[in-house]
Structure 1
Amino acid sequence: MKRSNTIKMVFGIILTAGVIFGAAGTYDALNAGKGSVAEAAGRVVSIDSCTISGDSVVVDVSAENLPGSDDGKYYLYADEVYQDGVTGEVVATTDKGKKATFKFDLALGKKESNLSKKFLVAVKSGGSMVQVSDEHYITNPEAIASKTVGRNDHGIKGILPNDADAATFKDLGIAQMVYNLYMGDIVGPSTNGAYPTTEFSYDGKTYQFNTAALQQYDGFVRWCSINNFQLTLTILNNKTEAGADLIHPLSRDAHVCPGYAMNTKEDAGTQHLKAIAAFLAQRYSGGQFGTVDNWVIGNEINARTEWYYMDSTNLELNVSEYVKAFRIFYNGIKSVNANARVYNSIDQEWNRKSNPGCFLAKEYLDRFNYYIRREGNVDWSLSVHPYNAPLFDPYAWKQQSQYVNTSLSTPYITIENIYLLTDYMNRAEMLNPAGNVRQISLSEIGYTSSFGEDAQLASIVYAYTMAKSNPYITSFILFRETDDAHEMESHIAQGLKNLDGSKKQSYDAYKYMDTKEAGTYKAKASKIIGQDVDALVANRTFMSRNGWFLND
C-alpha cells in the first residue's frame, strides 16, 4: 500500500516511468549487530542550548546537583553520529558549576567541522571520563545560511506527476510538485563523457557527483521554477556501486526495495551523507537550476520492509538511526537555505500494520519526536500519505469502520479523520521550538475511478475541501494525472486522465477547486455523497460503513 513515483526524465525525454507498490529512559548506545538500544541511567547535567553564534558554537549547560569529579572541570565531547559516549574529541572545557558555558570553533568547511556532530558533557572521575549529560545537536544551522532564497508558497494544490506536461498542470492550477531523487544514482563519476564529473569539496574532502544523472534533476528543478511550481524533493537511498557506502550495514542483505536506511553507522557513509546534503542544498537554492523549497528525507520511513529497509525489527534502533540521518540532512540543508523545510515521512497505517515487518506510523512518529526533543528540538516538518483504507476503496467520505474511526486508536489515518493527526500535532510535546504547530504536507493522496468516476470526483472534492479547511495542512499532492496500466490491474486508477489521455470527470473538479466555479463541483459531489460537502467538513461529520459496498 506504499506508493511513490519513480518517473525519471531528461527534459523532453521520459527515461522510465512507473510506480512501485508497495518513553522512558535515555538512549545511550547501540549494541553490536541487530541488538537493542540500551537505556542509560539519569544524567545530572542538562544541555540547555547548543547554537551557532558567528563562527563559534555556544553550549549552555546546567545542573541542580553537581557530579563528582577529579579536577572540578566539565569536558565537552564532539561525537560523530555513529559514536557513543566519550569516544569523540574534546572540543572545550570549563569549570564545573550549576550553570556553565562552552564556546568553541564551528570549523565550518574543515575536516573537524562541528556542524552535524552531537555533543555531550563529561567529567573526569577516578581517572576516567564519565558521561554526565545526554547528547545534543546544534539547533540553529540556519544561522550560517549563505544561499537563503524566498519560498514559493502560493497554494496547496499539487500533483505527483508521471509526465512533464506543463500545459496540463497549468490548466489544473497546480501550485506544487513532488519528485523523487535517488542518491545512489547521483554519486560517483559521470556515466556520460559529454557531462564531465562534478567535483565537490566538503569538510576537507573532494566528492564526485554523476553529472549525467544530475541532468534529470537539474532539468526538473529548473522546469518547476520556470513554470512557477513549488517543488518538494523526496530523497531515497537506492543501491548502486558508486553509492555502496551510503547503505547502512544492516541494509546490505539481498532484500529488494526502492529505499534503504542511510549509513549512519560508519564514518565513510556518514561523511558522504553530509557532503550530499550540502551539495544538493547549494545546487538547488536559487541560481541557474532554481530552488527546492521542501526536502523529504526518506519515504514512508515506518514502512521498514518497503521504503526504509534495515534488517532489524527493533523500533528504537530503527528510529534512532533514522534520526541521525535526518539531523545530517536538516543541518546540511538549513545551513545553506534557511527557508527550506525538511520533512520526515509516514504512511497512513497509524495503528495497524498491513505488513507485520513494518512499524506503526504513530509509534514511529512518537519516538522520532522523542529523540529530536531530547537531543535538541528543531523545526522539522511532517509528510503524511492519508490514502483510503484499503488503497482501492473509492469512498473517501465514508470509510469502512474496521479501518477508520474518530479515536486516536484508529487503525488508519485517512482524509476522513485527518483532523486526528493535526489535532495530535497541536499537543504541547509535538510543537516546534517556537511553540507552533509544525508544517504538515499531504504529499501523496489519490482516489481510484475503478468503481465509478462519480465516486472519484466526490472523493477528490471532499478530500481537497478537508485539506483546504485545515490551517495546518500546507500541501495536497494528488497522485497522479494519468492512470497507470499496471496499477489498474489492482483496481487503482487514480489519474485525472484515462490511459488514452481523455479527461475523467474528476479532472475539471480538481481544476476548479479554489475558483469561483468550485461551487458547481461541490454541488455534484454533495449529490453523490448525499450530504453537503462543506457542512461535512465544517462539522467534522464522520460517516462509516460496515462492509465493502457504500450502503453497508
Structure 2
Amino acid sequence: MLRLLPPLLSLVLLAQGGPAQDSRPFPAADSKKGLQVQMVDDALALGIRHAGINVNLAALLADAGTAHRVGFRSEDREYFINEDYARSLDRQIKPLSDAGVLVYLILIQYPSRVPEKDAVLIHPKARADGKYIIPAFNTATETGLRHYRALIEFLAARYSGEKSVSGQVWGYIVGNEVNSQFTWYNLGHIPVAEAAMEYEKAVRTTHDAVRRHSLHARCYLSFDHHWNVSVPGISPTEAYKTKEFLDNFARTAREHGDFEWHVAHHPYPDDLGNPRTWEDKNAWPTEDSPHITFKNLEVATRHMNRPDLLWQGKPRRIILSEQGLHCLDTPDGETLQAAGFAYVWEKLRRQPGIDALIWHRHVDHTQEGGLKLGLWTTKPGTISEPGRKRPFYDLFQKADTPAWDEAAKFALPVVGLKSWDELKGP
C-alpha cells in the first residue's frame, strides 16, 4: 500500500460504514440533452438533463505534500484523500444533481509527477517515455488494484449511497477512448485481447465498488469513433478497432462471470475539423463501417442488440459522452456548426437505444488542437474563459422544447434534407 504521512485533518470516512446502499432504479431522464459542464449555472439555464464531470484520480489521492487530507478506510486499510479536490467535485456535482441532472463521472488519471504515487497508480506497461496524455489505471499489481478500488469506493460512498449529501452520481465512465490507448489510456505495446483483459479488470472493479453503495448506478466503457479501423499511423499494438476491442471485452467478461456494463461512445465526425458530419464518407449504415459518427448512430444501437452482448435479455445502454462540431473560421462557420447540431439532435431523437448526448465543449479551449467546439467562444487572451455565446447556444437551449421545430428549420437546406423524417432510425 502507498504509505503516506498522517493526514493533517484527521476526519475518517469508512467505506464499510458510509451511506447505506441505494436501491433506487436508474432514473429515466425526460431529455437526452447533456453537457460536459464548465459553468454550472449556465448549464442549468440551457436545460440539460445529463452532465459529464472529469475526475482525475491522481489528484483525488493525497500524498505527503497535500495540504488537507482525509482518511478513508477500504478493506481494512487506510488511504488519504485530497479534501480540497473532493470538495471541488462537490461544488460541481451537488447543484447539478439537486436540479435533477443525471451526473456521470469520467474517471481518468493524469501523471502526477510524484514518483511514489505514479508508481502505484499508473499501469506498469504504460510507455516508459511518457509519450501519452493519460495512462491506464494500474490493474496489473495488487497494490495498484487496491488503490484504484479504494478511490472508486470513496467516490461511490460520497456520491452514490443512499441520501448522499454531497450530490448524486448515476454513471461512472471508466477511462477515455480506450481503443485508442496510445494517447488516452496508455498500456504500452500489447495486443488487443490483452488490452481488453486489462480494461475488463478496471471496469469490473469499478462496478463492484459502486455496487456496494448503489444497486443501479451504471458503469460505462469509453470508445472513440473508430469502429472497423484504428487510428491511422499508429501501431496496431497501441490502437485498435472499437468493434474488435468491444467484442474481446464482452467475451472476457462472460468468461469471468458477466456483469452489468454499458457503452459511452464518442461519435465525432470523420474529420474533427469539418462540422459537415452529414457528409461523412467513412460512416456507412452497415456493420462493416469504418467509423461510427453522428451520421450512422444506428450501427451502434443495432450492434448492442446482438444476443451475445445482451444483459439480462436486454440491450446494454449507450450514452454519447464526448463529441462536438468544430466552428470553422469562415463566413458560414457558425451557421454550419448550428446546422450540424440540428442534424445531430434529429438523428439522436430517432435512436431509442441512446440515452444521452453529453456535448463537448461548454467553452472553447485554446489548447485543443485548434478545434472550436464550444457553445461559447474563448475570451481573448485566455485558455478557456467564456467570451461570447455562439448562435449554436440558442439552438442548443431550445432542444427538447416547443420552440425546437421552428428554430431548427433553417438547417434542412444546409444539410441537404427536405424533412428530418428522411433520417434513419435504428
> What TM-score, normalized to structure 2?
0.86
How far does the alpha carbon of each residue in 1:422-452 deviate from its partner, in whole angstroms, 9 at most, with x for none?
10111111111x1101110000121122152
Tell me the equivalent position of 1:511.
397
Tell me the equivalent position of 2:306.
427
Question: Secondary structure in 2 aligned to 1:449?
Answer: coil
Where in structure 2 are the equivalents of 1:452-491 lying within 5 Å?
A: 452-487=333-368, 490=370
2:153 to 278, 284, 305: 278
Tell me the equivalent position of 1:269.
144
AA aligned opposite 1:230: L
2:36 to 157, 160, 171: 160
Higher helix share: 2
Tell me the equivalent position of 1:439.
317
1:216 partnered with 2:95: no
CA distance in 1, matches of 2:64, 2:50: 30
Question: Secondary structure in 2 aligned to 1:494?
Answer: coil
Where in structure 2 are the equivalents of 1:356-371 lying within 5 Å?
A: 356-357=234-235, 358-371=239-252
Q: Which has the higher contact order (CA 8 A, sep 6+)?
A: 2
Q: Contact 1:187/1:243 (CA < 8 Å) preserved in 2?
A: no
**Using a 3 Å threshold, how does the CA distance of structure 1 residues 473 and 235 change in structure 2: closer, same or farther?**
same
Q: Provide the identity percentage.
A: 26
1:171 to 45, 51, 56: 45
Tell me the equivalent position of 1:331.
208
Where in structure 2 are the equivalents of 1:351-390 lying within 5 Å?
A: 351-355=228-232, 356-357=234-235, 358-390=239-271
Q: CA deviation at 1:191?
A: 4.9
Tell me the equivalent position of 1:546.
none
AA aligned opposite 2:106: T
Q: CA deviation at 1:156?
A: 1.2
Tell me the equivalent position of 1:415.
294
> What TM-score, normalized to structure 1?
0.67
How far does the alpha carbon of each residue in 1:87-125 deviate from its partner, in whole angstroms, 9 at most, with x for none?
xxxxxxxxxxxxxxxxxxxxx96xxxxxxxxxxxxxxxx
Q: Contact 1:259/1:306 (CA < 8 Å) preserved in 2?
A: yes
Q: CA deviation at 1:316?
A: 1.5
1:260 partnered with 2:132: no
CA distance in 2, matches of 1:498, 1:239: 29
Q: CA deviation at 1:150?
A: 5.7
**Using a 3 Å threshold, how does the CA distance of structure 1 residues 482 and 398 change in structure 2: closer, same or farther?**
same
AA aligned opposite 1:366: D
Question: Secondary structure in 1 aligned to 2:389?
Answer: coil
How far does the alpha carbon of each residue in 1:495-544 deviate from its partner, in whole angstroms, 9 at most, with x for none?
1223353222211211111111111123111122231342222478xxxx
CA distance in 2, matches of 1:398, 1:476: 20
Q: CA RMSD in A?
A: 2.2
How far does the alpha carbon of each residue in 1:470-503 deviate from its partner, in whole angstroms, 9 at most, with x for none?
111011011122223344x63x221122335322
CA distance in 2, matches of 1:478, 1:344: 17
AA aligned opposite 1:183: L
AA aligned opposite 2:288: S
Query: Unaligned stretches of 5+ in structure 2?
Result: 1-14, 380-386
Question: Secondary structure in 2 aligned to 1:387?
Answer: coil
Aligned length, in residue pairs: 391
AA aligned opposite 2:32: I
Q: CA deviation at 1:259?
A: 2.0
**Using a 3 Å threshold, how does the CA distance of structure 1 residues 252 and 305 change in structure 2: closer, same or farther?**
closer
Tell me the equivalent position of 1:393.
274
Tell me the equivalent position of 1:296.
173
CA distance in 1, matches of 2:45, 2:60: 33
**Using a 3 Å threshold, how does the CA distance of structure 1 residues 247 and 539 change in structure 2: closer, same or farther?**
closer
AA aligned opposite 2:35: I
**Using a 3 Å threshold, how does the CA distance of structure 1 residues 296 and 533 change in structure 2: closer, same or farther?**
farther
CA distance in 2, matches of 1:539, 1:268: 47
CA distance in 1, matches of 2:214, 2:64: 27
AA aligned opposite 1:292: V
AA aligned opposite 2:310: L
CA distance in 1, matches of 2:140, 2:366: 40
1:532 partnered with 2:418: yes
Q: Contact 2:297/2:351 (CA < 8 Å) preserved in 1?
A: no
CA distance in 1, matches of 2:425, 2:87: 48
Where in structure 2 are the equivalents of 1:37-186 lying within 5 Å?
A: 146-149=21-24, 151-154=26-29, 155-161=31-37, 163-166=38-41, 168-186=42-60
Q: CA deviation at 1:312?
A: 2.0
Q: CA deviation at 1:415?
A: 0.9
Q: Contact 1:248/1:310 (CA < 8 Å) preserved in 2?
A: yes
Displaced runs of 4+ in structure 1, greater than 3 A?
Answer: 147-153, 189-193
**Using a 3 Å threshold, how does the CA distance of structure 1 residues 278 and 303 change in structure 2: closer, same or farther?**
same
**Using a 3 Å threshold, how does the CA distance of structure 1 residues 473 and 539 change in structure 2: closer, same or farther?**
closer
Question: Secondary structure in 1 aligned to 2:52?
Answer: strand
Larger deviation: 318-327 or 145-154?
Answer: 145-154
Question: Secondary structure in 2 aligned to 1:180?
Answer: strand
CA distance in 2, matches of 1:477, 1:415: 13
AA aligned opposite 1:361: T
**Using a 3 Å threshold, how does the CA distance of structure 1 residues 208 and 486 change in structure 2: closer, same or farther?**
closer
Q: Contact 1:190/1:211 (CA < 8 Å) preserved in 2?
A: no
How far does the alpha carbon of each residue in 1:183-208 deviate from its partner, in whole angstroms, 9 at most, with x for none?
11111347554x3x211112121111
AA aligned opposite 2:318: I
Higher strand share: 1
Query: Unaligned stretches of 5+ in structure 1?
Result: 1-107, 110-143, 541-552
Q: Which has the larger radius of gyration?
A: 1
CA distance in 2, matches of 1:393, 1:366: 30
